Structure 1
């Protein structure tokens, strides 16, 4: 009886090993064929099976495409599980773009506390971004949240100048809200006593994590949302993040 069980286990292990070798060989073939046939394709970071038979995910950074098991065809698009009505591609991209909240350099952010500030939200923003101004109005109405505003001047020289003026203001949080909500130009930076290197660090951090537009929101559970969303959507995600934690 024990011998039968042992043989069965060995057989199962053999099948698993064979499957792993087969998967490894297919992955290698996909990598090889795509690299040879599409020399301008960026370096492939990962090749993994998808739930769809014969279809493989090809990950390049935080972008995903799909290939057949030989690398003969490369597909750009989305996979939707029609049974659960789940967009598997969107789900995967959300996971890839997530930022660990603990990794955020909070000392380089303008901190604004609303209500008791119990919940946390980080936002990458450019002071000349129209969508950011619209978002800021909605965000101002969200209760009991601490907002970490990372000045992210990527739209041009004036964005950098305004960001420096806001960061170096006596009350950066007030200067930020005055500009974004009321159009009050932040006071000019006088002298050289202010250390504005935080702005350079913010841009470097954002580029590292591929923050390509503003606003970009990061919640405590790592969820990242690009673009302006409503206050109701922020509230919903804050509640979801609290539930996960």
Structure 2
């Protein structure tokens, strides 16, 4: 896949936490993204991995490159299409990862496309904050996080769950994975919230099928760079962590403004 190719061919970067960073737009230093530039970038990515979709192309925060999101990865492609770098670009003065802002904008826009009717929502009457959480019903940390859902709501935080079976959607043999099948049953239950909480407590839902968003939400998670659960995103698209306590989550949300 693209990540393996890039790790083999390109430069890896450092990683800094973005939880407390402001989501101001990074200074635009790269060239404008013309239709010709878009075609060039897509061709460059295709030369690395033919089946990878490019989701976002923006001017990079440094001259001579475009900032690209593809297959859940961020990379930088030179304006002549000859070079690609995979990793983080750091502003050494502010100690900020300049890719965080682009990721946040992208995630916020993509998450906004998922209607509330396709999420499993636990919310107080008038929430101060709304978070999106990619979750797996059999994940230990996901179960521990859900134990705090009443406390989150008490703090004015609405929790909107999206499905992300860690086993994936199908096995290598092409059959649905057990967790995917269980999560479909949860999303197809008559009372989804009750079935969801029961599954988090280790009580499997009654088998059920229907038109459901589980596969689409899994694919969305991959697109947004999810590689484990729980994966929590704030209303501005920032990553807020995995398992967190109510106090930690509220503090992270307040820091985001």
What TM-score comes out, normalization by structure 2 length?
Answer: 0.61
- In the alignment of these two chains, the number of paired residues is 212
TM-superposed deviation, 1:104: 2.2
- Greater gyration radius: 1
| Structure-2 residue corresponding to 1:188 | 206
Counterpart in 2 of 1:130? Answer: 140
Match of 2:8 in 1: none
How far apart in 2 are the matches of 1:52 and 1:99?
24
Question: Using the alignment, how far apart are the partners of 2:185 and 2:106 within structure 1?
Answer: 34
Whole-angstrom distance in 2 between the partners of 1:177 and 1:218: 21
Counterpart CA distance in 1 for 2:190 and 2:55 is 45
CA distance 1:126–1:99, change in 2 (3 Å) = farther
Give the C-alpha shift of residue 127 in structure 1: 0.9
Assess if the C-alpha contact under 8 Å between 2:162 and 2:217 holds in 1: no
Q: Alpha-carbon deviations, 1:24-67, whole Å to 9, x = none?
A: 6995896499479x4646466666543434x3124143533234
Matched with 1:176 is 196
Residue 77 of structure 1: aligned partner? 87
Is 1:94 aligned to 2:112, yes or no?
no
Q: Shift of the alpha carbon at 1:88?
A: 0.6
Superposed CA offset, 1:140-195 (max 9, x none): 43222332223444526322343345445564334433442xx3414534xxxx66
1:219 positional shift: 3.2
| Secondary structure of 2:254 counterpart | helix
Match of 1:15 in 2: none
Pairs within 5 Å for 1:203-222: 203-208=215-220, 210=223, 212-213=226-227, 214-222=229-237
**Which of residues 63, 68, 71 is equivalent to 1:59?**
68
Partners of 1:123 and 1:179 in 2: how far apart? 16
- Give the stretch that moved more between structures: 167-176 or 122-131: 167-176
Q: Which is helix-richer, 1 or 2?
A: 1
Q: Structure 1 233/51 Cα, relative in aligned 2: closer, same or farther at 3 Å?
A: same
Q: What are the ranges of 5 or more consecutive residues in structure 2 without an aligned counterpart?
A: 1-30, 169-176
Q: Which of 1 and 2 has higher RCO (CA within 8 Å, sep 6+)?
A: 2
For structure 1, the 5+ residue unaligned runs are: 1-19
2:179 is matched with which residue: 159, 162, 165? 159
> Quick one: distance in 1 between partners of 2:73 and 2:140?
27
TM-score for both structures, normalised by structure 1: 0.63
